[in-house]
Amino acid sequence: MIIFKTIPELRHYLSSRKEAGLSVGFVPTMGALHKGHISLIHKSKEDGCFTVCSIFVNPAQFNDPSDFEKYPSTLPEDISLLESAGCDVLFLPSKEEMYPQGMEAAPSYHFGRLEEVLEGAMRPGHFAGVGKVMSLLLRIVEPDALYMGSKDYQQCLVVQDLCRQMGLKDRIRFIACPTSREPDGLAMSSRNLRLSESQRARAGIIYQCLVSLQSKFDSGADFGIVQKECLELLQAKGFETEYVSIADAATLEPMTQFDPNRKTVALIAAKIGAIRLIDNLNLN
């Protein structure tokens, strides 16, 4: 695996790979890699792509400065995992490399209602920051395929809309890969490294709530009652819940009742201590 820290060197190298007829697969990350990230690398390799991974903790998408400061960093382990997975290139830029004229000078994109509901409502400015860094990374790497995890469901929709706005929708294949889970169902996340032993023992309850929503969806139960049950269960386990929601799977417009005729996703965001966890599950 070759590591690049500057944009010109990476572009020059990838240009030679593309001239050789290789298809480029891209996995953007913020490091603290786990099996979920590595599954994206494996998928790209299985698809026959020359695979590029980036590690960049993007300050523009953190609306909470303390969250940015505490974001875990495990770079030596990350490099070892990527090498073992057969990753071809790691792009490891600095903040100055990505934002040489400051974050404010980077291109801005707007995502309509996606910026206003669920994660957009809870984390103002977050998706604007995602749009900034992803627009830069897509211009730098110019991938043929982009691999992202479905755990960040709303972010996947935002990046797909970004590709549309950038005129890349027909040029880049967007592959949303299934959420990787621990044995108790907890969605793999870099933030899980910050959970205490006690918090980790309780964290699987989020997935249990999603499975409950799915089972009640199939039985036609009243969503308000099921939502209340989930909120009470999470509270009993020590969570501060931000939302337990069902929404249209394509637009994330909130729904007040289960509707078997609409593709629907259940989404939960909750804090345990200072650590914020999110997860989702397609209901039909």
Q: Residue ranges for the binding site for beta-alanine?
A: 61
Whether 12 is catalytic is no
Torsion of CA 114, 118, 119, 120, to 10 degrees: 40
Bind-site residues: 30-37, 61, 149-152, 155, 188-191
Separation between Cα atoms, residue 26 and residue 141, nearest integer Å: 8
Bind-site residues for (R)-pantoate: 61, 155
Separation between Cα atoms, residue 50 and residue 25, nearest integer Å: 6
Q: Given 37, 42, 110, 126, which residue is catalytic?
A: 37
| Token representation of residue 9 | 């060197």
Bind-site residues for ATP: 30-37, 149-152, 188-191
Place of tokens 């209340």: 228
3-class secondary structure for the chain? CEEECCHHHHHHHHHHHHHCCCCEEEEEECCCCCHHHHHHHHHHHHCCCEEEEEECCCHHHCCCHHHHHHCCCCHHHHHHHHHHHCCCEEECCCHHHHCCCCHHHCCCCCCHHHHCCCHHHHCCCHHHHHHHHHHHHHHHHCCCEEEEECCCHHHHHHHHHHHHHCCCCCCCEEEEECCCECCCCCECCHHHHHCCHHHHHHHCHHHHHHHHHHHHHHHCCCHHHHHHHHHHHHHHCCCEEEEEEEEECCCCCEECCCCCCCCEEEEEEEEECCEEEEEEEECC
Residues sharing a CB contact under 8 Å with residue 221, sequence separation 6 or more, in sequence order = 258
Write out the catalytic residue numbers: 37
